[in-house]
Amino acid sequence: MRVATWNVNSVKRRVPRLLPWLDQRQPDVVCLQETKLANNAFTKLLGDELSDRGYEVALNGEVQWNGVAILSRVGLNDVVVGIPGAPGFPDPEARAVAATCAGIRVHSLYVPNGRVPDSDHYQYKLAWLAALRDMVGTGPRDAIVCGDMNIAPTDADVFDPLAYADETHVTAPERAALAELQALGLHDVVRDRWPHERIFTYWDYRGGFFQKNLGMRIDLALATGPVADRVRAAWIDRLARKGTAPSDHAPVIVDLDEAPDGDAGPTVPPSSASPPRPGSVRLPQAR
């Protein structure tokens, strides 16, 4: 079974990329984030196309912002929208949906960004992650938590830690919240397969960051032990970040039981671009 997660940064804009990608990669379960469409608009836009490809769909969308989905062609049961007890900002946002697909509890998540350390949105992010931990901790033994976590787990998951000083995504409280989630027994299956490689899932559109491989690894697939034991390949589909009108994120693909594209997938290891000299690159928002 192939499970994928992808922050598409507007599914409406990404339709010309998404549908050919589904046909090429043939994922059985797809977790989407930042769909940026209300449920009825998503269904109107893609319902027939996805149905023709054998996918059932679970949605948690809203107009213009956020939005998550699960596409499955191996069953879609016990759908839960949102996270019990999670805070809003100030109202609940469309950031989580879960369903059982072929016996695995699948979570599609778009974790709040946090914006600025110690801001109200940052505190919201930490409280939201605590509610997520509580939900996953009381859930089924076979589970995979997928999505844009908006946290780089370690300094190895950003192109240069100095560039991210005083920025969200890398602060100690955020990383501690992610570590507490993983302490439930979740395995970072991509990092487990590629423990030393320089691999990223997000690159800013500005400044040629993708071409220079100046990225972050913030899109994760975290699997419980029984699911992690079934992993035969886990890789980042960098090809989907290339070309015309891409998302600023690349999909993460996890193959269970068999690896049709081989252990490495077709695009890992990633770009051979050398890392920059520490402190030599500033983030676009800091310029």
Task: Give per-residue pLDDT as tens, 225-248.
Answer: 999 999 999 999 999 999 999 999
> Is residue 155 a contact partner of residue 170, using CB atoms and an 8 Å limit?
yes
Q: Are 28 and 72 in contact (CB under 8 A)?
A: yes
Q: Can you give the C-alpha Rg of the chain in angstroms?
A: 18
pLDDT (tens place) for every residue of the chain, 287 residues total: 999 999 999 999 999 999 999 999 999 999 999 999 999 999 999 999 999 999 999 999 999 999 999 999 999 999 999 999 999 999 999 999 999 999 999 999 999 999 999 999 999 999 999 999 999 999 999 999 999 999 999 999 999 999 998 899 999 999 999 999 999 999 999 999 999 888 999 999 998 899 889 999 999 999 999 999 999 999 999 999 999 999 999 999 999 999 988 776 655 445 556 677 787 787 787 55
Q: Which helix (H) or strand (E) holds 80?
A: strand 77-81
pLDDT tens-place string over residues 268-287: 445 556 677 787 787 787 55
**96-101 and 104-110: which strand pairing?**
antiparallel
239-to-109, 120, 126, 269 alpha-carbon distances in Å? 23, 36, 33, 12
d(Cα 116, Cα 166) in Å, to the nearest integer? 8
| Distinct helix (H) and strand (E) counts, the chain | 6, 14
Residue 157 DSSP SS3 = helix
Question: What pairs with residue 106 in β-bridges?
Answer: 99, 144
CA 251 to chain centre: 7
Residue matched to tokens 């770009």: 271
List the one residue out of 153, 155, 156 whose CA is nearest residue 188.
Answer: 153
Segments in 62-183 forming alpha helices (H): 120-137, 172-182
